[in-house]
Amino acid sequence: MLDPQEAEQIPGALDPALRGEVAHTTAGALVRRGRATEDPAVVERLVALVETEGLDVVAGLWSDSPPNTLPGALWRLYVLREWVRRDPATVADRYRLGRGAVPVHDVVAGVADAPGPTEVREVADAVLSGVYTGDLAVALERAAAFCRVLAAGAAFDADHLDVVDPSGASRLTRGAASLLRTAEELEHAATLWRADRLD
């Protein structure tokens, strides 16, 4: 048996309190840096953070953060952008399917008529840029609206698959529910930001 002093010396996972502190510190530093500059190249680098640092690095920093925190909200925005970047054709199809069901959210999201892969990528970049160059609450609300339209599209897609691929339909239904939950979390984060309580 190891005594407590020896056990403390064994390297392991980061202490949860320290991990939370690192998440908040890095998220706050990024947002402050982005909002303090007028250099578009800096904002571009911040938007492309996952591409340069890798999703695993960003996940290691923020993925365990609660959704009602700045690192938790940023994590959701970067994951959404990464999904759009990796599979823009599917995202564009789901967006087109869902936009009629939630037209108000479609307007807030700000996606062009008949969006294709290029347009949804541009919106994902614009939303994330808004974190650093505009009103962060508006950026969070735009991302939430985008998620709501995508959730409706995924639900319609699931309905179409129900007969030919029940397990695929079930997977899409779960994905739609997850997108709705993300939308709600982003909307709540926007409310907290406006109240100066998103830390």
pLDDT digits (tens, 9 = 90+) for 91-144: 999 999 999 888 888 878 788 777 899 999 999 999 999 999 999 999 999 999
pLDDT at 4 over 80: no
Going from N- to C-terminal start, the domains of the chain cover: 15-194
pLDDT at 170 over 80: yes
Q: What mean pLDDT do residues 32-51 have? A: 94
Q: What is the pLDDT of residue 1?
A: 42
Among residues 167, 26, 154, the alpha carbon closest in space to that of 91 is found at: 154
DSSP labels for 163-191?
TT-HHHHHHHHHHHHHHHHHHHHHHHHHH
DSSP labels for 94-135?
HHHHHTTTSHHHHHHHTPPSS--HHHHHHHHHHHHHHHHHS-
- pLDDT tens-digit map of 177-187: 999 999 999 99
Cα dihedral sign, 149-133-192-26: positive
Contact status, residue 68 vs residue 192, Cβ threshold 8 Å: yes
